[in-house]
Structure 1
Amino acid sequence: MEWAATPHDAAAVIAERAPGFTPRVGIVLGSGLGGLADRIGDAVAISYADLPGFPRPGVHGHAGRLVLGTLGGQNVACMQGRVHLYEGAGPAAIRLPIRALKLAGCETLFLTCAAGSLRTEVGPGRLMAITDHINMQGTNPLVGPNDDEFGPRFPGLKDAWDPALTGHLAATAEGLGIDLAQGVYAAWLGPCFETPAEVRMLKALGADAVGMSTVPDCIVARHCGLTVVGCAVITNLGVGLGDGEVSHDQTLRSAASAAADLERLVVGFLEGLDR
């Protein structure tokens, strides 16, 4: 019978590679946003290939390594890239990395992603704090037998995106002069971008932005007791809302142009976390 890795196996490697180090905040970096990891001090980088059960991202813009160290005065564990359900990853591939961060000591998860805006006044290059989400992926990372070690069978998601942390994020942005929008993120399965009709549907349902990740991470994190805060980098307007063509290359270019503001925001958020 083939050995199946567990979150404990990955957490053990983290403890071995960084003895005595306990991360407080986990960070997940989305498409084209991996540069923040380069600002981490006293960094210890671990390839996902060396972390049992960590899936190897197959999308350009996701480096596939975990970086441990200090950022904004906090001990962090930064996932430089994620795997997506559209890559064929099953629920276990989404669950294991987040649970390993929990076992390593993380209390909070800061999720970032690239997203398309469903509001024409929030265009490419803007940042959007995620206040809530709509899961349109047709599945849930908690499908299958529940692991009672990490959380209950039927977790609630009323405050999935922690209101206090989101408020702190907004206050940090204001102090830094960063124009931070707020809104509801819809998770689309992908890998196809949405049709114009689907964009109109998502707008009617109350979504402000749409992407192909992030919500599964949030669900797993809340299930195991992590508080969650998130920020989307707006890379394009939804199909039918603007004149430009939507593509992954455009996503990476737009994410890179907004990365400086995101980095300042994350560092400022961490610096003020204890106040």
Structure 2
Amino acid sequence: MGKSFDRLRECYKNCRKKVSFRPKIALVLGSGLGDYGEKIQVETVLDYSEIEGFPISTVSGHKGRFLFGYVAGVPMVAMQGRVHYYEGYSMEDVVLPIRLMGLLGAEVILLTNAAGGVNENFKAGDFMLIRDQISQFVPSPLIGENIGELGPRFPDMSQIYDPKLQDQIRAAAAALDIPMQEGVYLQFTGPNYETPAEIRMGRMLGADAVGMSTACEAIAAKHIGMGVCGISCISNMAAGISDRPLSHSEVQETADRVAPDFQALVTESIRRIGEM
């Protein structure tokens, strides 16, 4: 049993001293969902700073806390502010929150993010159901000694995004009459945006959207045995697809504009997943 599992176990014990709530679904709130906490019937709030040994997000606008409560009657934990690899944390730190939510009881994780559109049929403001991913541009969170208590040394990733969970998200979008694209998400390290040549490479590899999170989290969640699903908000068209310079303000502006639909889609998806 390595130091990484010891640390994770200590974080778990620390949480359990403060929170007895047992979630069924975990939700990682990306850009555009920062205010989603208002949609949750919150039972308990736990700041990351209250968990000894827990990494703290340094990104502006990320509140850095767990919200435990109910959405559409489904017990859940929401991660309000994720930790990114580009902040300088190790990949072990980046996925520690994901593993912790699994240990706390979450059986399913819904990952959300803001992403750059690579598929030229997309436009800013679209939602994309993540069907698959490319994670080879960031280190695998499973590198190093395997934590056998969490999962196998060589976990299968052939269906990292659960088809049955995808069906529930499709049904949620249809019920709300919200158009939704589908595709492959590629994670780069960031924090710089990609060059046009890198975007052309991503498209050649089969990516439809690119971002700086999510793929590593999905691997860690799949390793621990959680059902994984994900939605990207296409906040801008990537470099070379659009002739506009890229900026974080554009990303935030688009995310804020479509936030009501994004929130409704997440709520309905959680309701349907909770009934499975």
- Whether these two folds match at TM > 0.5 is yes
What does residue 8 of structure 2 align with?
7
Pair 1:66-2:94 in alignment = no
Matched residues in 2 for 1:185 and 1:57: separation? 22
Q: Which structure 1 segments of 5+ residues have no match?
A: none
TM-score (norm 1): 0.94
2:95 maps to a residue whose letter is R
Cα drift, residue 191 of structure 1:
1.1
What does residue 255 of structure 1 align with?
255
Contact 2:138–2:187 (Cα < 8 Å) also in 1 = no
1:235-246 to 2 correspondence within 5 Å? 235-246=235-246
Matched residues in 2 for 1:259 and 1:54: separation? 28
Bigger shift: residues 93-102 or 74-83: 93-102
3-state SS of 1:167 partner: helix
Pair 1:18-2:25 in alignment = no
Contact 1:73–1:270 (Cα < 8 Å) also in 2 = no
1:8 maps to a residue whose letter is R
Cα drift, residue 199 of structure 1:
0.7
Q: Which structure 2 segments of 5+ residues have no match?
A: none
1:236 maps to a residue whose letter is N
Q: Residue deviations 1:187-232, cap 9 Å, x none?
A: 0111111111111111111100000000010000000000100000
2:36 maps to a residue whose letter is L
What does residue 268 of structure 1 align with?
268
User: How many equivalent residue pairs?
Assistant: 273
Contact 1:32–1:62 (Cα < 8 Å) also in 2 = no
What does residue 169 of structure 1 align with?
169
Cα drift, residue 52 of structure 1:
2.6
Bigger shift: residues 262-271 or 223-232: 262-271
What does residue 91 of structure 1 align with?
91
Matched residues in 2 for 1:89 and 1:118: separation? 27
Q: Residue deviations 1:220-265, cap 9 Å, x none?
A: 0000000100000110001011132211121111111121111101
What does residue 185 of structure 1 align with?
185
Q: Residue deviations 1:24-66, cap 9 Å, x none?
A: 0000111342111221103311111112332111112211111
Contact 1:118–1:199 (Cα < 8 Å) also in 2 = yes
3-state SS of 1:49 partner: helix
What does residue 217 of structure 1 align with?
217
1:170 maps to a residue whose letter is R
Pair 1:150-2:150 in alignment = yes
2:143 maps to a residue whose letter is V
What does residue 80 of structure 1 align with?
80
Cα drift, residue 7 of structure 1:
2.2
What does residue 111 of structure 2 align with?
111
1:238 maps to a residue whose letter is A
Cα drift, residue 106 of structure 1:
0.5
1:13 maps to a residue whose letter is N
What percent of counterpart residues are identical? 38
Matched residues in 1 for 2:99 and 2:261: separation? 29
RMSD: 1.7
What does residue 123 of structure 2 align with?
123
Matched residues in 2 for 1:173 and 1:269: separation? 8
Displacement over 3 Å in runs of 4+: 2-5
Matched residues in 1 for 2:117 and 2:224: separation? 30
Matched residues in 1 for 2:5 and 2:27: separation? 25
Bigger shift: residues 39-48 or 231-240: 39-48
Matched residues in 1 for 2:262 and 2:15: separation? 26
Matched residues in 1 for 2:7 and 2:38: separation? 28
Bigger shift: residues 257-266 or 27-36: 27-36
2:11 maps to a residue whose letter is A
Bigger shift: residues 24-33 or 163-172: 24-33
